Amino acid sequence: MTDKFDHTILIVDDEEQVAKALGRLLKQMGVKYVYMDSGQAGIDRIKSASTPFSLIISDQRMPGMEGSEFLAIAKKITPNTIRFLLTGYADVDAVTRAVNKGAIHRYITKPWNNDNFIETVKAGLEQYELVMENDRLFRLAKAQNTKLFTLNTDLKKSSVVHQRAIVQRDKEIEQLKKRLETGFQNRNYINEIEILLTENNLLEKEKLNTLHAAIVAELFEQFQDIATRNGFEMPDNIPGG
């Protein structure tokens, strides 16, 4: 039994003096308890409790509802709670039926030994702590698995979207590359240079015509020289010049 659990035990017995005797032993252990005088009152108290009882101790022989019947109902309401049946030697059959149905975890015979009773209750509370810790770890693992599944799903979705974006960018780059190559092939650089020079007043139209004439004249002289060295005759002047 550890300090991190705030245990409360429910005692159900139609004999108040018996319940008080058990309560004194629980106080020695530093454990709180609640007393109810019948099975129906015990059921109502379980249903109204803000937190489940760690352990229930019920007498077997009570008017209206026997302890084994009460504990079977209690099990359905709060299945993790440890359940003890307080009984006499004459109730062996009832105890056997309750054990077989899983309604009780242990039984305590009357009259009881105080030291044995305390040790039995301690063991029951430790068992409850183990059950609750196992339940906590199970819920934690379930929550973590849910988070991991969600994260993995999101990563897969993100990867697909990212891959689609890469494919789309590759297509756009390829289209741009083709447009650039087509543009370079179809461009008239000489005409573009002339337009650029003219628009920026770097070369007037008349000067541009003079430049063309000078280039043609230079080429004509070079052809004349080649023709003379090879025994050909060319006109003295450029036609139209």
Residues 120 and 15 in one domain: yes
pLDDT at residue number 103: 74
Between CA 108 and CA 59 the distance in angstroms is: 9
Q: Is 157 a residue whose pLDDT tops 70?
A: yes
Region for 201 from its dihedrals, namely left if φ exceeds 0, alpha if ψ lies in -120 to 50, beta otherwise: left
Q: Is residue 112 part of a domain?
A: yes
Q: Looking at the structure, do residues 193 and 134 belong to the same domain, yes or no?
A: no
- Beta strand spans in 38-98 (E): 55-59, 82-87
Q: Report which of 95, 93, 41, 97 is spatially closest to residue 64, judged by C-alpha positions.
A: 41
Based on the domain organization, do 12 and 128 belong to the same domain?
A: yes
Residues 146, 61: Cα–Cα separation, whole Å: 48
- Average pLDDT value for residue range 224-237: 62
pLDDT in tens, 16-46: 999 999 999 999 999 999 999 999 999 999 9
Same domain, 13 and 84: yes
CA atoms within 13 A on the CB side of 119: 5
Domains held by the chain: number: 2
Distance separating alpha carbons of residues 141 and 147, to the nearest angstrom: 10
Asked if residue 164 is part of any domain, the answer here is no
Return d(Cα 130, Cα 155) in angstroms, integer. Answer: 37
For the cut 90, the answer to whether the pLDDT of residue 191 exceeds it is no
Q: What is the pLDDT of residue 209?
A: 67
The tens digit of pLDDT for each residue in 65-122 reads 999 899 999 999 999 999 999 987 656 676 777 776 677 888 888 889 999 999 999 9
Statement to judge: residues 122 and 195 lie in one domain: no
Full-prediction pTM beyond 0.75? no
User: Over 60: is that where the pLDDT of 6 sits?
Assistant: yes
